Structure 1
Amino acid sequence: MTFERPARPNRSQLSVPGSSSRFIEKAAGSAADIVMLDLEDAVAPPDKPAARRTVIEALRDVDWGARTVSVRINALDTPFMYRDLVEVAEQGGDRLDLIMVPKVNKAADVHLLDVLLGQIEMATGRKRIGLELQIETAEGLQNVDAIAAASPRVESLHFGPGDFAASIGARTTSIGGPVPDYAVLGEPDGAGRRDPHLADPWHYVLARIVVAARAAGVRPVDGPYADFKDEEGLRWSARRAAALGFEGKWAIHPGQVETLNTVFSPAPEEIERARRILDALAEAEREGRGAVALDGRMIDLASIRQAQVMVEKAKRLGLA
């Protein structure tokens, strides 16, 4: 069976504890592109069965409007995964769009989930469920190309900075924020002082994920920025991800959603510039000219492709 991946907006992915009906209802009214009901890290082990029931009731009863809804199950190496997957997929109704899977380590993990979901769908007649996969371990990153291409059910790859840092033994307790020791000393100033310059310890990981995702035709999404009171830090973290080619980023607090939606949306001037490039191309074609120029500069094919991507994204987001 073949599937066509939906072109879902994924600028902001709001994570909500699956144990809290109040937080779930509040998230349903937010401006987040995707709301993810979390049965993993946000729920203590003794509370997981009750949280699973809360999530199933919310999927059935809450008015989600046109919003995409995801549920993060527990990892495959836990005793909770099977019951999470089966009960949520069988009982959650058709408002369940996606299953988020933490700590995916190899393509075989995806194959297992694909088979189970396919059998559930055939047995219940429910609509197809997509998969979101978290890259959170050294093994997962090593196998990221195969993971991304493991099933047409896969819709997105997500970076999990906290667990990934633990997996590689990084000396940090920050999640998504700067790592002060990952720095180099600059040249001495006039007084002989040498200031440290922070570097980005996650650049390789993020670049690796975005390339694997784009090669497989799935969405790359950055993980959370844990200091939800630091709006400026969140904005710069999101700008870095957007510059690398990510579709969006996790929000762990509703107050982060607006910033993420803004950063991962094309700005009006960017959309206008892209439209002018495409208009210049169309005019050149009408006049039989092979060369395309705009504002005194030649436009090459790469610029045209970038403009096409920009305009198409703006249309998907309702901005053009």
Structure 2
Amino acid sequence: MTALHPAQALYSRGKSFPALAACEHYAGSEKLIRKALQLQVNSVHANRPIFDITADCEDGASVGNEEPHAQMVANIICDSGNHFDRVGARIHDIVHPHWRRDLDIIIGRAGERVAYIVLPKVNDAADVQTQINALNVVCKQRNIQREIPVHVLIETPGALHDVWAIAAMPQVESIDFGLMDFVSEHCGAIPASAMQSPGQFEHPLIVRAKCEIAAAALGNGIIPAHNVTTELRDTAVVKNDASRAYLEFGFLRMWSIHPNQIQPIVEAMQPDFADVTDATTILCLGQDAAWGPTQHAGRLHDRASYRYYWEVLRRAHITGMRLPVMAMQRFFT
């Protein structure tokens, strides 16, 4: 009898979380996007990069230059320098007159290769549904057969109120927190100190928002993505912010806005190696027992703990950790 892979055996009632990189690097200009593509090539682990790239139309395009900017983004996504098809695009928000044109251009030129579409500054679930519907209409018009994943930015109180409904939408793959716009939306009620550490992890309204976003995303089987850190030079600060986002709030992905931030974010999102070692042993025992109950080090393990340890092992793989040989042979070949 062929041994069942954990991804097949352990998720009969649902799906495992999307296998997204732990870091999402934002770049707005052609120069910076191309630099990020080269960094992606240099970051490859197990034939995949350790970070995704989001080409930014919202903040990247100057006023009046929206059309050529979207065309540039679409062209780069289709460029031979995009080796892994892990480049997404953030379009303009729903009140901006160019958002539909962003979709027309990017999907029309790069619909088969764009990794995902990011929707910023939505006010509620209805806004998200409107933009997803428009995306799918363009896909149909362009004969794009694949369903393009959508990432939704929570930057307003209204979007936070609807975050569970947004996270439940089938096409949504990630819920992202936009800290600075969220603070600005509160009309001075949240101090500027909450836009950076330690305030961003302590102010009650920000803590509430992060907890709600992470809970909604994880509860619907998708990825919660943490906001940027504004520290560009001190990598220890970056790593600490990413570590707190992961360990204290449950975020599985974080934005980067500078190349110096990528590696510290990825390292902070890695599980402890001792857990990886335990996960390998426990999963091998479980697979040998056809995923029935087993024991290891005097503790009982069943499908619930197998799922937990499979996510530990999968996360270690996604974040570029060197896995035990047995884990690679059994689960990642």
Taking structure 2 as the reference length, the TM-score comes to 0.79
Correspondent of 1:27 among 36, 41, 66: 36
Q: 1:118 to 1:276 in 2, by over 3 A?
A: same
Answer whether contact 2:25 2:258 (CA < 8 A) is retained: yes
Q: Residue 168 of structure 1: CA displacement?
A: 2.0
Q: Residue 40 of structure 1: CA displacement?
A: 1.1
Match of 1:110 in 2: 128
Match of 1:131 in 2: 150
Q: 1:94 to 1:175 in 2, by over 3 A?
A: farther
CA distance in 1, matches of 2:33, 2:118: 16
How many correspondences in the alignment? 292
Q: 1:219 to 1:34 in 2, by over 3 A?
A: same
SS at match of 1:29: helix
CA distance in 1, matches of 2:99, 2:32: 23
CA distance in 1, matches of 2:116, 2:196: 24
Cα-to-partner distance string for 1:223-260 (whole Å, 9 max, x where unaligned) = 11112112122111111111132211000001111111
Matched, 1:226 2:244: no
Give the AA of the match of 2:26: S
Match of 1:65 in 2: 83
Structure 1 or 2, whichever has the larger Rg, is 1
Give the AA of the match of 1:298: R
Correspondent of 1:262 among 249, 258, 267: 267
Cα-to-partner distance string for 1:174-205 (whole Å, 9 max, x where unaligned) = 644333xx9xxxxxxxxxxxxxxx83543221
Cα-to-partner distance string for 1:116-173 (whole Å, 9 max, x where unaligned) = 22222222122331111000011111110011113x2111000000000111231116
Match of 1:208 in 2: 212
Matched, 1:292 2:295: yes
Match of 2:197 in 1: 177
Q: 1:5 to 1:15 in 2, by over 3 A?
A: farther
Answer whether contact 2:54 2:90 (CA < 8 A) is retained: yes
- Identity percentage of aligned residues: 25
Match of 1:191 in 2: none
Q: 1:52 to 1:281 in 2, by over 3 A?
A: closer
Cα-to-partner distance string for 1:74-104 (whole Å, 9 max, x where unaligned) = 1101112111122211123422121101012
CA distance in 1, matches of 2:233, 2:194: 14
Q: Residue 11 of structure 1: CA displacement?
A: 0.6
Answer whether contact 2:153 2:175 (CA < 8 A) is retained: yes
**RMSD (Å), alpha carbons:** 2.7
Give the AA of the match of 1:22: K
Deviates most, 70-79 or 44-53: 44-53
Q: 1:149 to 1:53 in 2, by over 3 A?
A: same
CA distance in 1, matches of 2:227, 2:282: 33
CA distance in 2, matches of 1:281, 1:6: 20
Match of 1:76 in 2: 94
SS at match of 2:117: strand
SS at match of 1:225: coil
CA distance in 2, matches of 1:119, 1:282: 44
Deviates most, 235-244 or 39-48: 39-48
Q: Residue 29 of structure 1: CA displacement?
A: 1.4
Q: Residue 62 of structure 1: CA displacement?
A: 4.5
Q: Residue 38 of structure 1: CA displacement?
A: 0.5
